[in-house]
Amino acid sequence: MQSADTKNTEIKLVEKPEGYEGAGFFATSLEKVVGMARKNSIWPLPFATSCCGIEFMATMGAHYDLARFGSERLSFSPRQADLLMVMGTIAKKMGPVLRQVYEQMAEPRWVLSVGACACSGGIFDTYSVLQGIDRIIPVDVYVPGCPPRPEQIINGIMKIQHLVETESLRRRDSPEYKAMLNKYGIE
């Protein structure tokens, strides 16, 4: 029987960023604080279509808990979500729907493509399957696998967290970003 002090019951808090501290105040850069806050409270939109959606369900379960990364609240409304997780095969008929969901999300928004089918069409090289969602929307992180294990999905989320933390506050207004969106035909 394990004794109580060998069990991991210590609550871990996020480390504060570097800054100048004094009695009753703490000065740091806005980007660091905003990055830290956004990184630990990503609200995902699970766009789960097929088998990878089941792996996502396992990831959200208690064993591979995704909620400890701050994603406790899943949103099925794109207006209230930060991260669009596309998990599963996207058919060409589903393409415009996915695009409309992406366009309805508010900035800043990130896209995680989970599984071989969302990344590149997977094993379904056919007339009806979209050969990768990056043909219609910009993708930030790709998670390969068929299906990827929950640990791999969590790794993808951690990479998204790194992107969120280190993103410049002015990125979304920059001309390069707008040019990239124009390439996809998104205003």
Partner 1 sequence: MDKTVQEKILGIIGEKFESEILSIETPYDFLTIDFKRDHIIDLIKYLYDHPVAKFQYLTTLCGIHYPDSKQIAVMYQLHSLVNNWRLRIKIFLPEENAVTPTLTTVFAAANWMERETYDFFGIQFTGHPDLRRILNVEEMIIFPMRKEYPLEDQTREDKEDFMFGR
Does the protein bind partner 1 through residue 128 (CB under 8 A)? yes
Q: Are strands 20-22 and 25-27 parallel, antiparallel or unpaired?
A: antiparallel
Buried b (16+ CB within 10 A) or exposed e, 145-175: bebbebebbbebbeebbeebbebeeeeeeee
| Amino acid code (one letter) for 20 | Y
Does the protein bind partner 1 through residue 131 (CB under 8 A)? yes
The 139-158 site mask, x for binding partner 1 (CB under 8 A), equals --------------------
Q: Which stretch binds partner 1 (CB under 8 A): 30-38, 68-76, 127-135, 169-177?
A: 127-135
Minimum separation from the CB atom of position 182 to partner 1 (A): 21
- Nearer to partner 1 among residue 20 and residue 127 (C-beta): 127
The 58-97 site mask, x for binding partner 1 (CB under 8 A), equals ----------------------------------xx----
Minimum separation from the CB atom of position 93 to partner 1 (A): 5
Helix (H) or strand (E) holding 99: helix 95-104
Query: How far is the C-alpha of 28 from the C-alpha of 33, rounded, in Å?
Result: 7
Instruction: Assess contact for 128 and 93: CB atoms under 8 A.
Output: yes
- Nearer to partner 1 among residue 122 and residue 148 (C-beta): 122
Helix pair 150-166, 51-60: axis angle to 10 deg: 80
Select the residue interacting with partner 1 from 48, 85, 129, 153 (CB under 8 A).
Answer: 129
Note the residues at the interface with partner 1 (CB under 8 A): 92-93, 121, 125-129, 131
